[in-house]
Amino acid sequence: MNKLSCLAALFCVLLSGCQTTTNTTEQTNELVLNSASPQEINDALTLDLLADEQVVEETDEIPVFDDVWDRIRYQLSIKVPQNRPVVTERNYYARHQAYLDRISKRAEPYLYFIVEEVEKRQIPIEIALLPIVESAFDPYGYSHRSASGIWQFMPQTGKRFGLQQNWWYDGRRDISESTRAALDYLSYLHKTLDGDWLNAIAAYNSGEGRVMRAIKKNRAKHLPTDFWSLDLPKETTAYVPKLLALADLLKRHEEFGVTWNKIVNAQVIERVDAGSQIDLELAAEMAGISLAELYRLNPAFNRWASAPDGPHHLLLPLDSVERFEQRLANAQLKDRLRWKEYKVQSGDSLSVIASKHNTSIDAIKRLNTLDSTNIRVGQTLMVPLSDKAAAHLPDKLRLVLNDKTSVTRSHTVKSGDTLWDLSREYDVTVAQLKAWNNLKDSAVLRLGQKLKIRQTTTNNVVQNVNRTITYKVRKGDSLSRIASQFGLKVSDIRKWNKLDSKKYLQPGQKLKLIVDVKRG
C-alpha cells in the first residue's frame, strides 16, 4: 500500500469516529501522518471525500422531485397487466387530455398532502390516484348511491370509520379526515383479504363481503382467488383496471403522448384547530383569504359556521396560518360567532327562531348558555347569523359582511364543467352558485345551460399567486438547486429561513419558501 492509499485509509477511520484502534494501528497512523507532506494529506482527503460522495450516490434511493406526479411515478410498484380491461381504460384516458388537465387542477391543493399520508402508511403509492377513479378529485362529487367526497364514502361506511355527518358538517367531504378514513379502510381490507392489494381495492368499491364471497366461491371450486379470477360486479371489474390504467399512463406518459400538469412537490396547506365553533366568514377574514377559498379548502362545512361539537379544524393556505392564529388568540369566545339580538315574541320557540334565522336550536342554546329549550316572551337572545340573516342587519354591519359592489354575468356550461370547477374559476362558493341558480344538491349540469355568476369587486381583482410553502429538503438538494426549481434567489431563501451560510442543508429539514404556486 503506497503512502497516499494509507492516508486515505487513515482518514476514513478518523472520519468514521472509530474508537477501537489498537496501539499498533495508532503508531502506524502517527508515522504516516508525520511523514506525509501537506499536498499528500490534501490529496488523501480529496480521495476520501470522492469515495464518500460515491457512497452517497449508490445509497441515495429517493431522488429529488420538483413535481408530485414525478414523486408518485417513481414509487409505482403494482404490476400492470396489459390485458383488455386495462388497455381499454388506458386508451380512453389517453384520448382525453382535457380530463387529465382538470384532474391536475382539482388535485393541486390536496395531492401533496395525500401522497405524504400514503407514504407514512407504507402502502402502494397507487392509492394516491384512487380519488381520480372515485370522484375525479371533486369534493362535492355525489353518486346515485349517496356516496360523497373525493374518496366517495357511503354514509354508513363513513360513520364506521369515524366520519361525522350532521346538519353542520359532512366528514366525507373533509379532505384530511376522509383521507385518514380511506387509508384506514384500505389498510383493513388489505389485512382482511390476505394481503392482496388488488382485492382490497376491489373491496373498497364493492364492499369486503362481496369480495370475500367471491373468494370463498372460487376456493370451493379450487379456482384462483386473485382479482382477475373473481366473479365480481361489472362496476368493480372496471374499477381496478381504471386505477391500473392511470398508473400505467402516469408511468409511460411520454410513450402515450399525454401530459400531467405539474403540481409543486411542497406543502401548501396546513391543518389548524380553531378550538371552538367559529363563523367561517370571520375565519376567512382572520386568515386574510376569501370565503370562497376557505370553503374550497374545507368543503365539509354545510353551513356558515363550523359544528358546535366540532370538529373545529380548518385547512388553510400555509402563509395564512400565522395571521389566523394570532387573530384567533385575540378573539374572545363569544366573538367567534356573528350574532344579533333577538327579542322573543308570542308564539316563538327555539325551533321557530332557529328556522327564521337559518341556524340550529343547538347553536342558539350554546351561544346563550341555555340548559333547556324553555324561553319566555320578551327575553333577549343572541342568535347566530347566516348570510340570509345579514339582509336584516344595520347598514354598517351589512356592508362589512357581504354588501359589495357586484355585477351579474352568465356562464354557459361546457363539457366537463362542475360546480366545483366553476367555484374555483370565479372565486365563489358552491353554495352561492346553487342559490343564484336555484339548483338542488342533486342537480346535474347540462351542456349549454346558462348559469348566473355574481362577480364582486373582491373576486374581480387579480389575486396574488405568491404563496408561502414548506419545502422538505431531500438528499442531493442544495440551496442553488432549490432556488433554481422555484425561480428564487439563494439570498432570499437564506433570509426567510435565517440560514447560516457555513452550515449545510440536512435531509428532512424544512424550509419556508415564498413562491408562485402556479408557476409551471
Decide yes or no: CATH 3.40.1260.10 for domain 404-460.
Answer: no
- How many whole angstroms separate alpha carbon 449 and alpha carbon 436? 14
First to last CA, the chain: 54
Cis peptide before 507, with omega less than 30 degrees from 0? no
Q: Which residues of the chain have pLDDT under 50?
A: 3-60, 387-405, 457-465, 517-520
What are residue 456's DSSP bridge partners?
406
Sign of the alpha-carbon torsion through 434, 437, 442, 445: negative
Instruction: Give the Cα separation of 321 and 227 in Å (integer).
Output: 45
Q: Which architecture, in CATH terms, is 68-256?
A: Orthogonal Bundle (1.10)
Structural contact between residues 349 and 373, judged by C-beta atoms closer than 8 angstroms: yes
Is residue 242 classed exposed, middle or buried when 0-12, 13-18 and 19+ CB atoms within 10 A define those classes?
A: buried
Crossing angle for the helix pair 321-329 and 280-287, to the nearest 10 degrees: 120
94-115 burial string, b = 16+ CB within 10 Å, else e? beeeeebebbbebbbbbbbbbb
What single-letter amino acid sits at 212?
Answer: M
State how far Cα 276 lies from the chain centre: 23
Q: What single letter denotes the amino acid at residue 203?
A: A
Position 187 scores a pLDDT of 97
pLDDT of amino acid 407: 67
Question: Can you identify the CATH homologous superfamily of domain 466-516?
Answer: LysM domain (3.10.350.10)
Nearest to 204 by CA among 261, 129, 300: 129
Coil, strand, or helix at residue 130? Answer: helix
8-state DSSP, 165:
B
Angle, nearest 10°, between helix axes 479-486 and 490-497? 110
- Does residue 134 have an active-site annotation? yes
Q: What is the pLDDT of residue 516?
A: 60
Cell of 107: 388535485
Give per-residue pLDDT as tens, 189-219.
999 999 999 999 999 999 999 999 999 999 9
Which residues, in sequence order, are CB contacts of 421 under 8 Å at separation 6+?
102, 105, 106, 138
Domains 68-256 and 466-516 equal at CATH topology level:
no
How far apart CA 142 and CA 152 sit, in angstroms, is 7
Task: Please say whether the beta carbons of 416 and 102 come within 8 A.
Answer: yes
* Domain covering 339-384, topology: Membrane-bound Lytic Murein Transglycosylase D; Chain A (3.10.350)
DSSP 337: S
Cα distances (angstroms) measured from residue 497 to each of 264, 471, 473, 511: 20, 11, 13, 6
Per-domain residue ranges for the chain? Answer: 3-59, 68-256, 269-334, 339-384, 404-460, 466-516
- Helix ranges, 358-444 (H): 361-367, 395-401, 419-426, 430-436
> Chain centroid to CA 320: how far?
16
Site of grid cell 386508451: 91
With cell 324553555, the residue in question is 374
**Per annotation, catalytic residue among 89, 108, 126, 134:** 134
Report the pLDDT value the prediction gives residue 408, as an integer from 0 to 100.
76
Query: What per-residue confidence (pLDDT) applies to 36?
Result: 45
- The C-alpha atoms of residue 413 and residue 410 are separated, in whole angstroms, by 10
Please report which residue ranges of 122-165 form alpha helices under DSSP H. 130-135, 155-160
For the stretch 279-286, contacts whose Cβ atoms lie closer than 8 Å and that sit 24 or more positions apart, written own/partner, are: 279/304, 279/305, 279/336, 279/337, 279/338, 279/384, 279/385, 280/304, 280/305, 280/306, 281/338, 281/387, 281/401, 281/402, 282/336, 282/337, 282/338, 283/314, 283/324, 286/323, 286/324, 286/327, 286/328, 286/331
With 0.75 as the threshold, say if the pTM is over it.
Answer: no
- Rounded distance between C-alpha atoms, residue 125 and residue 72, angstroms: 6
HSE-CB at 388 with a 13 A cutoff on CA atoms is 11
Q: Which of 290, 288, 287, 285 lies closest to 458, judged by CA?
A: 290
